[in-house]
Amino acid sequence: MPRHRLALVLVCLCVLAGSLLLGGRWVYDSAPVRPDKGGTFVEAVAGRPQYVNPLLAQFNDVDRDLVALIFAGLTKVGSGGRVEPDLAESWDVSADGKTYTFTLRADRKFHNGQPVSADDVLFTIALLQDPAFPGLPDVAAQWQGISVKKQDERTVVFTLPEPYGPFLEQASLGILSSQQLAGIPAAKLTQVPFNGLPVGAGPFKVSQLNVQQIVLQPDPNYPGPQTYLESLVVKFYPTSRATLLAVQAGEATGARAVPAEELPRLRQDAHLALLSAPLEGRATVLFLNNRRAPFDTPAVRRAVALAVDRQALIGQALGGQGQPASAPICPLSWGYTAGDQSGQDPKQAATLLEEAGWLDTNGDGLRERGDEPLAVTLATSDSPEQQAVATYLTAQMSRLGFRVELQSQTWEELRDAHLATHDFDAALADVWLPNYDPDVLALWHSSQATSGLNLSGWQNSTGDALLEQGRQSWQQSARVQAYAAFQKLFADEMPAVFLYYHTYTYVLRTDVQGVSLQPLLDPSERFRGFANWYTQTKKVLFTAVTGSKL
């Protein structure tokens, strides 16, 4: 080879080598960043745990959050509100809908290594059915009259006194370890050390719990995606304000919830990110007393619903923190078919009132029916939010021709003097829809109209039949049809006016990535996507020539 060509080849080789070395470093600097394992997420919460026990957690928000992470039930609720297997791998339902046979997974264990067995299921239900059970009566009542038998170590048979469609979701209740609580009677359940250092079979296990914090670690044996973060620490603070200050100071990575009044201040902090999602398990409702004039007529109730511009209400009274609501079943539920019915139509509202006999005969803007004025009292609590909402509603109803007297009192006074006794014309109150299952019989059935949760006192035999059919059928297709018909009837009758779902706002420091909030039924669901959260990253290396990974 000629000397000049040899020199040229050597020069080219040197340039190529330099390109690979220097170019490799340059590619590293601009390489794509990927999540990496490691790191801890520290959440600040207001309050302290009392009973980290699925049978007792209903007393306390912090307990509910922790129970959702630590314990597992026979079933769990997945996306779209669908019931999925958890501790049970499968189940069978008898033709009459009364007998449920669950087969437990052979590989599921409690965090102490003890296998989950049929004995643990029987033990948990026996505590709930014990007359001395110290938890909420409503929780225990769901399990009364149900027979539970062990067929073998991995098979449990539940026999219900009558068909009950929501039972599969009810079976998501966390299961306790019979060995950990052996010999503990139900009456002593609130006094056991287990409530302070619980052992469950859920996605996280407890490694430490004291008065300042609880340290949780992902259970590597729990089925599902593995997490990037190595631990989740929940720190306890006395107030919501203190939790936010902890996040701003870097003591915590995120805070459980942000009050609406704190949002403007937090938005000014460049180190914080605010994530919001509809809290569709909590709705604010205008209850209308169906047993007294003028709300004993469906046309008048529909007129009120059409008079309200829910989007404007949310913007003016809530600073945009809400989502319009219009139906009695949570939109997250598989049984929701109503669609958005929250549109405003003042002209149609006026027409409905006129057809019902309520006229403005003297042109003063106020309606009468004969000598009877269209006058009502609106009862509400004295909280700033409800005061703002009530003021807006008063203005909207007044434009329609109502005389509205606003009656404000403490929440306790509203509850005891008006809601509990069903003694009001109209009342503002929140409704919790705690389940994805669309069973709302307790809220709207005639049997609950006198002293139950049917605050409007609505009594409709067709509605009763649809609610009973929806509850008693275990076949989802039949239940969907029943609840679709119920929602249409509700829209026609309008026993109460659903106004808005609350907004849940989560604050975290900007170095946390992968967090995405979807609409929630309950704040405890915010950790549903925790496997995607990360604080550590790594760069993926590529050569400049081939593009292959180094």
- Give the CA distances from residue 331 to residues 497, 500, 501, in Å, rounded to whole numbers and listed in that order: 16, 12, 10
- Which two tokens mark 31? 């390489």
Q: What is the mean pLDDT of the segment spanning 393-403?
A: 96
Around Cβ 323, how many Cβ atoms within 10 Å? 21
Q: Indicate whether 287 and 230 sit together in one domain.
A: no
pLDDT at 28 over 70: no
- Which two tokens mark 5? 């060509």
CATH number of the domain to which 378 belongs: 3.10.105.10
Please report which confidence band the pLDDT of residue 542 belongs to, taking 50, 70 and 90 as the band edges.
low
Q: Indicate whether 230 and 292 sit together in one domain.
A: no
In a domain, 304, yes or no: yes
- Which two tokens mark 238? 């006395």
- Give the CA distances from residue 67 to residues 58, 235, 522, in Å, rounded to whole numbers and listed in that order: 10, 16, 13
pLDDT at 7 over 50: no
- Which two tokens mark 443? 């809220």
Q: What is the pLDDT of residue 20?
A: 39
Q: Indicate whether 217 and 282 sit together in one domain.
A: no
The closest alpha carbon to 83, from 170, 16, 148, 25, belongs to 170
Extended strands (E) in 146-292: 147-152, 155-159, 204-209, 213-218, 231-237, 254-255, 272-288
Give pTM, 2 decimals.
0.86
Q: Indicate whether 205 and 146 sit together in one domain.
A: yes
| Mean pLDDT, the chain, whole residue set | 91
How buried is 35 (Cβ within 10 angstroms: 0-12 exposed, 13-18 middle, 19+ buried)?
Answer: middle
Around Cβ 277, how many Cβ atoms within 10 Å? 19
- Residue range of the domain that includes 224: 41-234
Q: What is the pLDDT of residue 19?
A: 42
Q: Indicate whether 155 and 292 sit together in one domain.
A: no
Q: Indicate whether 228 and 293 sit together in one domain.
A: no
| pLDDT tens digits, 519-541 | 999 898 999 889 999 999 887 66
For 485-494, b where at least 16 C-beta lie within 10 A, e where not — what string? bbbeebbebb
Around Cβ 261, how many Cβ atoms within 10 Å? 10
Q: Indicate whether 93 and 150 sit together in one domain.
A: yes
Cβ atoms of 485 and 469 closer than 8 Å: no
Q: Indicate whether 360 and 474 sit together in one domain.
A: yes
Which comes out higher in pLDDT, residue 18 or 34? 34
Select from 170, 205, 234 the last residue of a domain.
234
Residue 214: phi and psi, rounded to 5, are: -125, 135
Rounded Cα–Cα distance for residues 320 and 385 (Å): 12
Q: Indicate whether 473 and 329 sit together in one domain.
A: yes
Rounded Cα–Cα distance for residues 426 and 154 (Å): 52
Which comes out higher in pLDDT, residue 48 or 25? 48
CATH number of the domain to which 83 belongs: 3.40.190.10
Select from 502, 518, 533 the last residue of a domain.
502
Q: If DSSP states are collapsed to H, E and C, what string results for 326-361? A: CCCCCCCCCCCCCCCCCCCCHHHHHHHHHHCCCECC
HSE toward the beta carbon, residue 264, CA cutoff 13 A = 3
Q: What is the pLDDT of residue 11?
A: 39
For 344-365, b where at least 16 C-beta lie within 10 A, e where not — what string? beeeebbebbeebbbeeeeeee
Select from 234, 256, 290 the last residue of a domain.
234
Q: Indicate whether 159 and 219 sit together in one domain.
A: yes
Q: What is the mean pLDDT of the segment spanning 476-485?
A: 95
Which comes out higher in pLDDT, residue 223 or 378? 378
In a domain, 184, yes or no: yes
Rounded Cα–Cα distance for residues 276 and 515 (Å): 11
- Give the CA distances from residue 479 to residues 337, 437, 439, in Å, rounded to whole numbers and listed in that order: 12, 10, 9
Helix (H) or strand (E) holding 241: helix 240-249
The closest alpha carbon to 398, from 354, 366, 372, belongs to 366
Q: What is the mean pLDDT of the segment spanning 221-231?
A: 91
Q: Indicate whether 226 and 121 sit together in one domain.
A: yes
Q: Give every CB contact of residue 351 below 8 A, 6+ residues apart in sequence.
A: none
Which residue stretches of 205-335 are H helix?
Answer: 240-249, 263-266, 298-307, 310-318
Rounded Cα–Cα distance for residues 444 and 462 (Å): 12
Rounded Cα–Cα distance for residues 544 and 326 (Å): 58
Rounded Cα–Cα distance for residues 456 and 491 (Å): 15
pLDDT at 475 over 50: yes
Q: How many domains does the chain have?
A: 2
Token look-up 């505590």 returns: 127
Around Cβ 158, how many Cβ atoms within 10 Å? 21
